[in-house]
Amino acid sequence: MVMTYSSSPTTSTTIFDIGNYSTKLLNVEPQSCINSSFPPPPPKPLLISTPLQGGNFPVILFLHGYLLFNYFYSQLIQHISSHGFIVVAPQLYLVEGADTTKEIKSTAEITNWLPDGLHHYLPSQVEPNLKKLVLAGHSRGGKAAFALALGKVANVTTNLKFSALIGIDPVDGVDKGIQTTPPVLTYIPQSFNLDMAVLVIGSGLGEVKRNPLFPACAPNGVNHRDFYNECCRPVCYVVAKDYGHVDMLDDETKGVRGKATYCLCKNGKSREPMRRFVGGIVVAFLEDYLKGNSSDLMAIKDGYITLPVELQDADFRV
């Protein structure tokens, strides 16, 4: 079953604002009964954001954070999609324990489904370019993305090659030495053997506890800083000061889990600036490494563009 929602672009063309493409959100559900006359269903429910105008577009496979719903990222993935990208956001699980092996396997299955399945669910004028396939994830989803790219689960492979990897405030556990299975971080500088460009985005408040009863949402020792330290060139690293681990989610996240995102993590004053920043830096990074247009990324690096947030840290090892 496919359900659609549409949005239109604004007149702005900066990377931190909605781009020039109108977008549509598609909900694609797996089918319990497979009929050979229908397109192959995905292994997991998908939320897809696609441009509506015709063209050939890179594809981003985006993995949600721990116990979050994929639709909590609707505004973020539409922002990215409006700049000329197809974003595929699976719902990997509803309830899951500490072990991330199942979601890593599911991500590989979805990746292998893309060549035969994805185009059936897109507008007829939209063509996915799977030669420019990006793996991205937030929080635990960021860890899962790195784990799949690094081959951390035995006998789990993909038929497609990823062109870039993005970790949005990735988290590998609750503390150094207390990593979730399979552990990704080795604490050996520049030890990640990744044949692709990497973007790591961090939140300045992610490692700050909201209250003493709960751990920080992105604890020091297993967070963005540690992932960045293990990446080899080319890697871009940015940390948004005064914003928290879930501040790139939609302005309003409903239900018990949605309300929990306001209570469990230390947050900034509002979500819009962080979401615009994450969307914009992702677009700038991919414009450079997928399309060869480095102007926006270099403008961020050199401080020639106004950002929606203040940076706490930034490093570009390119």
Domain residue spans of the chain: 2-317
- The question of whether 313 is a catalytic residue gets the answer no
Find out whether 194 and 134 touch, Cβ atoms under 8 Å.
Answer: no
1-30: average pLDDT: 76
pLDDT at 34 over 80: no
pLDDT at 87 over 60: yes
pLDDT at 37 over 70: no
- pLDDT-derived band at 39, boundaries 50, 70, 90: confident
Region of residue 36 (left: phi > 0; alpha: psi -120 to 50; beta: else): alpha
Sheet containing 23-28: give its strands across. 2-7, 23-28, 46-51, 86-90, 55-63, 126-138, 162-168, 197-203, 235-240, 311-317
pLDDT at 216 over 70: yes
pLDDT at 279 over 70: yes
- The question of whether 224 is a catalytic residue gets the answer no
How far, rounded to the nearest angstrom, does the alpha carbon of residue 67 sit from its chain's CA centroid? 15
pLDDT digits (tens, 9 = 90+) for 101-127: 999 999 999 999 999 999 999 999 999
Domain 2-317 sits in CATH at 3.40.50.1820
- pLDDT-derived band at 31, boundaries 50, 70, 90: confident
Q: What is the pLDDT of residue 5?
A: 47
Who contacts 84 (Cβ-Cβ below 8 Å, separation ≥6)? Answer: 19, 21, 51, 55, 57, 58
Q: What is the pLDDT of residue 1?
A: 47
Q: What is the pLDDT of residue 214?
A: 84
Q: Output 44-47 pairs: Cβ under 8 A, ≥24 positions apart.
A: 44/90, 44/91, 44/92, 44/106, 44/109, 44/110, 45/70, 45/90, 45/91, 46/70, 46/88, 46/89, 46/90, 46/91, 46/110, 46/121, 47/71, 47/73, 47/74, 47/77, 47/88, 47/89, 47/90, 47/91
Percent of the chain with pLDDT over 70: 94
The CA-atom distances, in angstroms, between 214 and each of 86, 140, 264, 283 are 36, 17, 7, 34
Q: Tell me the average pLDDT of the chain.
A: 94
Beta pairing class for 173-175 and 178-179: antiparallel
- The question of whether 139 is a catalytic residue gets the answer yes
- For residue 80, which amino acid is it? I
End-to-end CA distance of the chain: 43
Find out whether 307 and 277 touch, Cβ atoms under 8 Å.
Answer: yes
What global pTM score does this model have? Answer: 0.95
Q: What is the pLDDT of residue 213?
A: 81
50-67: average pLDDT: 97
**Which one from 49, 81, 169, 172 is the annotated catalytic residue?**
169
pLDDT at 10 over 90: no
pLDDT at 285 over 50: yes
27-56: average pLDDT: 86
pLDDT digits (tens, 9 = 90+) for 156-191: 999 999 999 999 999 999 998 899 999 999 999 999
Q: What is the pLDDT of residue 7?
A: 58
Residue carrying the six token digits 């509506």:
52
Percent of the chain with pLDDT over 90: 90
233-261: average pLDDT: 97
Region of residue 241 (left: phi > 0; alpha: psi -120 to 50; beta: else): beta
Helices (H), 125-254: 140-150, 224-229
- Three-class secondary structure of residue 212 per DSSP: coil
One-character DSSP codes across 293-304? --HHHHHHHHT-
**Which one from 7, 106, 139, 163 is the annotated catalytic residue?**
139
Within a 10 A sphere around the Cβ of 182, how many other Cβ atoms?
A: 17
**Which one from 64, 74, 245, 296 is the annotated catalytic residue?**
245
Q: What is the pLDDT of residue 32?
A: 55
pLDDT at 54 over 90: yes
